[in-house]
């Protein structure tokens, strides 16, 4: 195998311009192919990583909908207490979100007010300052801090607008404990987080309502989810895997389908062009191939030379396509993340071994299939007639 | 009824719509609306205007609307598709150049003879340019035909997948003109560039004499 490879390499090096252009072309197509493979699962993988990172593996909602998108849980404290008492459950958090108006002396803005019940209530990552302590304190997102010119220790006036509460509850003053990063926050979200008790106080209501419960199991999420379903059959229980399933049923399938279409187009494009390049190249070297056959090269050997040439072009282009593809993915990710309501920590392109394996397999198949027609030309080449034609011409 | 299942749209004046859909028990003038769109004399004042409304009217939240050309979902998707189109054009150009070099190289003997019998390089280059324009034009026409066929297939697939009458791919005259405007000069330029490199060599060398 080394001899045909070396021979194919010499054929490529003899025509450096065309070889370099062919390799560059494969690199560009390969980069696009890699990106489409990364895109097909990227959003789902990124979502899964984010869900896992939050430390909860079960969500409990009132209906079969993504947390926050369906109706509220109406007996959240009782449900949380019942679930916390179940074996296999390590912790339960009650999550409630409401609309809020925040203002300082100079700036005013609307946003989301998040109340978290349960101890410890660390749904966020502290960037500056500290976490919530006793009293009317809140943490805010980085964007909200910039917009409202707030730093840890400052005070902010809050007016919450809550389900089941008075239409215009009196404004309340909160102290900013810290600036935080929330896992599903969008880059331009004005989000404030506090304890559930403080949120309910700001709303002027007593406890009871929540968007959903976040549950951490002791290890076996499926078993814990089954116990919760048995204890509270009126509620909907989702493990992280089931949440991903719900997400996949939603609008995110668009990117998978567009990536499937573009993968098919890209592979067809590469196949067509490599076939044309190899065919033209072989047709230009028919006399040379015939001479080699006359000198004693076997039919199998010259066919193998063509296959090796195809493999070299696609192999070198494919290797070059990896860094190119990652750069391109980073650019495309930046473009797509400007879509409204996309959390800052979600990525559309996620590098994973399966995508790399699929990329290598598709390129290898392309190299093989693209070489079939030129190999046929070489295999069926009449030696004497070709040499005679060459001499006459 | 599913949203977008039937592609029909009815527009009414707001009073007529309220007359059709309003609750007769609701006193006139107390109907609610979800959103009020405001067009400002100077769009640059949007942020200040929104802040003013928010301060004066508690319970109402005013914010700048997403401007056309800003970061709406479809605008972002358009940019994404444009980025993919750019990469595809780059890849196609590189391949085209490789192919052109090979095709021109194949005709180096013929070009050498033409030069030897007295045809100037400019005349040969013009011939190559015309040939390139013809090939690129034919390729662009074939590409457009392929696009029109795939437009129907892709739309049917996504309309079936999402159970909607929305159109996902539309090969408009503007898009078709843009494709031709890119493809034909690009194809012709690739052939001329490859030929130019060849014509710089001497006639005898080209004719291998």
Cβ separation B73–A284 shorter than 8 A: no
Helices A16-53 and A299-336 pack at an angle, to 10 degrees, of 50
Q: Using alpha carbons, select from A328, A367, A361, A330 the residue that is nearest to residue A32.
A: A328
Question: Residue B188: CB partners within 8 Å, gap ≥ 6?
Answer: B129, B132, B133, B136
- Across the interface, of A107, A167, A335, the residue whose CB is closest to B76 is A335
Beta bridge partners of B1: none
Residue A14 or residue A66, greater confidence: A14
pLDDT in tens, A257-297: 788 888 888 888 888 888 888 888 888 888 888 898 898 88
| Residue numbers of A between 62 and 121 with CB closer than 8 Å to B | 99, 101, 103, 107-110
| Residue B1: per-residue pLDDT | 42
Q: How many beta-carbon contacts under 8 Å exist across A and B?
A: 91
> Is the pLDDT confidence value at B4 over 60?
no
Cβ separation A108–B72 shorter than 8 A: no
Cβ separation A18–B55 shorter than 8 A: no
pLDDT band at A226, cuts 50/70/90?
very high
| Residue A26: per-residue pLDDT | 87
Burial (CB < 10 A; 0-12, 13-18, 19+), residue B107, is: middle
How far away is chain B from the Cα of A258, in angstroms, using its nearest Cα?
10
Cβ separation B94–A25 shorter than 8 A: yes
pLDDT in tens, B138-184: 999 999 999 999 888 888 887 887 777 778 888 899 989 999 999 89
| Residue B48: per-residue pLDDT | 78
pLDDT in tens, A347-383: 889 998 999 999 999 999 988 898 899 999 988 888 8
- Across the interface, of A261, A273, A340, the residue whose CB is closest to B95 is A273
Residue A260 or residue B206, greater confidence: A260
Beta bridge partners of A141: A180
pLDDT band at A252, cuts 50/70/90?
low
The answer, for A268 touching chain B at a CB cutoff of 8 Å, is no
CA distance A12 to B111: 24
Q: What is the mean pLDDT of chain A?
A: 85
- Across the interface, of A108, A159, A339, the residue whose CB is closest to B76 is A339
Which residues of A fall within a CB distance of 8 Å from B99? 273, 276-277, 280
- Across the interface, of B72, B97, B154, the residue whose CB is closest to A261 is B154
Average pLDDT over residues A316-345: 89
Cβ separation A277–B98 shorter than 8 A: yes
Per residue in A283-317, is it b (16+ CB within 10 Å) or e — as a string? eebbeebbebbeeebeeeebbbbbbbbbbbbbbbb
């Amino acid at each position: 195998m080394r001899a045909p490879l070396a021979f194919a390499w010499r054929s490529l090096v003899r025509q450096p311009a065309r070889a370099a252009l062919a390799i560059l072309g494969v690199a560009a197509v390969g980069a696009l192919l890699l990106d489409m493979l990364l895109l097909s699962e990227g959003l789902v993988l990124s979502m899964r990583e984010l869900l896992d990172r939050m430390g909860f593996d079960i969500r409990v909602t009132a209906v079969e909908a993504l947390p926050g998108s369906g109706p509220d849980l109406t007996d959240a404290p009782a449900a949380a207490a019942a679930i916390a008492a179940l074996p296999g459950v390590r912790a339960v958090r009650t999550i409630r979100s409401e609309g809020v108006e925040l203002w300082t002396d100079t700036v005013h803005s609307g946003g989301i007010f998040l109340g978290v019940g349960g101890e410890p209530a660390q749904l966020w990552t502290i960037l500056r300052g500290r976490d919530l302590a006793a009293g009317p304190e809140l943490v805010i997102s980085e964007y909200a801090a910039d917009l409202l010119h707030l730093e840890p220790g400052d005070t902010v006036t809050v007016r919450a607008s809550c389900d089941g509460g008075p239409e215009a509850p009196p404004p309340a003053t909160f102290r900013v404990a810290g600036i935080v990063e929330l896992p599903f926050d969008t880059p331009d979200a004005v989000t404030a987080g506090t304890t559930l008790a403080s949120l309910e106080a700001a709303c002027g209501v007593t406890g009871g309502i929540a968007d959903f419960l976040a549950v951490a199991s002791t290890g076996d999420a499926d078993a814990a989810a089954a116990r919760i379903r048995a204890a509270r059959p009126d509620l909907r229980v989702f493990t992280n895997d089931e949440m991903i399933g719900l997400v996949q049923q939603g609008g995110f399938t668009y990117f998978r389908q567009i990536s499937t279409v573009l993968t098919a187009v890209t592979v067809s494009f590469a196949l067509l062009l490599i076939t044309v390049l190899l065919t033209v190249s072989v047709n230009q070297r028919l006399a040379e191939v015939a001479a080699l056959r006359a000198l004693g090269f076997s039919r199998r050997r010259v066919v193998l030379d063509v296959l090796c040439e195809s493999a070299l072009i696609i192999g070198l282009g494919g290797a070059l396509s990896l860094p190119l593809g990652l750069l391109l993915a980073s650019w495309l990710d930046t473009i797509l993340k400007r879509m409204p309501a996309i959390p800052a920590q979600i990525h559309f392109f996620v590098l994973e071994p399966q995508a790399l394996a699929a990329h290598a397999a598709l390129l290898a198949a392309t190299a093989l299939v693209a070489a079939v027609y030129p190999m046929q030309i070489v295999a069926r080449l009449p030696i004497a007639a070709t040499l005679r034609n060459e001499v006459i011409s | 009824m599913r949203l977008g299942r039937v592609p029909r749209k009815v527009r009414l004046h707001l009073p007529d719509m309220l007359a059709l859909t309003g609750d007769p028990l609701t006193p006139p003038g107390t109907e609610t609306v979800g959103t009020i769109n405001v067009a400002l004399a100077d769009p640059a004042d949007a942020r200040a205007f929104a802040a003013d409304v928010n301060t004066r009217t508690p319970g109402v939240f005013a914010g700048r609307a997403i401007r056309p050309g800003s970061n709406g979902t479809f605008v972002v998707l358009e940019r994404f598709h444009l980025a993919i189109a750019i990469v595809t054009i780059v890849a196609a150009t590189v391949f085209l150049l490789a192919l052109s070099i090979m095709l021109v190289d194949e005709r180096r003997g013929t070009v050498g003879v033409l030069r030897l019998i007295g045809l100037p390089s400019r005349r040969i280059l013009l011939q190559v340019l015309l040939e390139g324009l013809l090939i690129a034009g034919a390729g662009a026409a074939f590409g457009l035909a392929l696009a029109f066929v795939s437009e129907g297939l892709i739309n049917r697939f996504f309309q079936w997948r999402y159970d909607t009458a929305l159109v996902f791919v539309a090969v408009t005259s503007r898009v078709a003109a843009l494709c031709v405007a890119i493809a034909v000069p690009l194809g012709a330029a690739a052939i001329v560039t490859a030929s130019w490199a060849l014509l710089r060599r001497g006639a005898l060398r080209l004719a291998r004499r």
